[in-house]
Amino acid sequence: MPTTITSREFNQGTSRAKRAAGSGPVYITDRGRPAHVLLTFEDYQDLLGSRRLLDLLGEPPGVADVALAITRREDVARPASFD
């Protein structure tokens, strides 16, 4: 069962919000509008499924590795002349 609290209630009763997250998501509102959701880590992992966060941020499916040729520059940087 989701719980809704204001950001002020969250700031003043973080422990209560954490306990409430054990029963389901806690919606934290800011000026009457939902702004954040507090979940237990287990619920968060269930939400992600078997994929890790790094996998989700990685390359999209179907994108192959791209060959990138980097040539070494032989020219040397010189100090700027302000004459």
Contact at 8 Å (CB) between 28 and 53?
no
Give pTM, 2 decimals. 0.58
CATH placement of domain 3-52: 3.40.1620.10
pLDDT(59) > 70: no
Phi, psi of 41 (to 5 degrees): -65, -35
Confidence label for 75 from pLDDT (cuts 50, 70 and 90): confident
* pLDDT number for residue 4: 95
Confidence label for 52 from pLDDT (cuts 50, 70 and 90): low
Q: In whole angstroms, how far apart are CA 53 and each of 11, 46, 49, 58, 63?
A: 28, 12, 10, 9, 18
pLDDT(73) > 90: no
Domain boundaries, the chain: 3-52
